[in-house]
Amino acid sequence: MERRTKIYEGKAKILYETDNPDLVIQYFKDEATAFDAQKRGIIEHKGIYNNRISSVLFEYLGQHHVRTHFVGQLSEREMLVKRLAIIKIEVVVRNISAGSLSKRLGLEEGEPLKEPVLEFFYKNDALGDPLINDDHIRLLDLATPQEVRAIRKRALLVNGLLREFLDERDLILVDFKLEFGRHRGQLLLGDEITPDGCRLWDKQTLEKMDKDRFRRDLGKVEEAYQEVYRRICSP
């Protein structure tokens, strides 16, 4: 597969055109950002770990009939994916109170939720990715009501599958972010599923095993990513 012109460069990934207009190459970087890119740094080998972690999780979801943009892993840092028209909604599924949910609702971090909580955020850096609801989605014409229903159903399905998969590897899925897009009339799960966009805690110690270690200056950031990689990707 020939890598051609760069289409987009974000905080953690670069997208390249290929010789097939329906497919793009997703390249994973080591750069890390937090707090709307006010904090920046490098997590050594993060791109390698995230590429493989995401590949394994997309393969697992595909085996359970979840349609994703994943086609295959090309190299240590490159993944071949279907080209999507991204829906400008970040979907967050929460199982345990942490992060902004704790701050907004006054919940103690680590408090298990009675049932998964699903939230939508408007993908707009200039506005700080604000929390939105179904009415806002209709107002901004971000997705059809049918797409919103499908996104909700699929996000909760993915949550159930990932919680079981990660629990078997002694990892607690606290919360995580998903993005969806359109490809030839299909709604597909896109982006990535990695410690960059998931809160993962060790099942025994409750130690944070994700980008919160970078956000909060907890140290041993590379070691946490490496350990998640080992647990998820080892045969």
- Residue 27 in any domain: the answer is yes
- Residue 134 in any domain: the answer is yes
- Residue 232 in any domain: the answer is no
In this structure, are 27 and 102 located in the same domain? no
- Of all residues in the chain, the percent with pLDDT exceeding 90 is 94
Which pLDDT belongs to residue 209?
Answer: 97
In this structure, are 115 and 165 located in the same domain? yes
In this structure, are 134 and 116 located in the same domain? yes
* 11 has pLDDT over 80: yes
pLDDT tens track for 20-29: 999 999 999 9
Burial 121-149 (b: 16+ CB within 10 A, else e): bbeeeeeeeeebeeeebeeeebbeeebbe
* 36 has pLDDT over 80: no
Mean pLDDT of the 212-227 span? 96
Band the pLDDT of 130: cuts 50, 70, 90: very high
Band the pLDDT of 39: cuts 50, 70, 90: confident
* Final residue in a domain of this structure, among 82, 109, 135: 82
What domain range is 175 assigned to?
A: 85-219
Q: Which CATH number fits the domain that encloses residue 185?
A: 3.30.470.20
* 200 has pLDDT over 90: yes
Mean pLDDT of the 110-135 span? 97
Which pLDDT belongs to residue 34?
Answer: 86
Which pLDDT belongs to residue 2?
Answer: 87
Mean pLDDT, the chain, rounded, equals: 96
Mean pLDDT of the 141-154 span? 98
Mean pLDDT of the 164-190 span? 98
In this structure, are 91 and 177 located in the same domain? yes
How many domains does the chain fold into?
2
- Residue 67 in any domain: the answer is yes
Helix (H) or strand (E) holding 229: helix 221-233
In this structure, are 89 and 50 located in the same domain? no
Band the pLDDT of 137: cuts 50, 70, 90: very high
Burial 203-225 (b: 16+ CB within 10 A, else e): eeeeebbbbbbbbeeeeebbebb
Q: Which CATH number fits the domain that encloses residue 64?
A: 3.30.200.20
- Residue 170 in any domain: the answer is yes
* 38 has pLDDT over 90: no
Burial 32-45 (b: 16+ CB within 10 A, else e): bbeeeeeeeeebee
Band the pLDDT of 235: cuts 50, 70, 90: confident
pTM of the model: 0.95
In this structure, are 188 and 96 located in the same domain? yes
In this structure, are 118 and 165 located in the same domain? yes
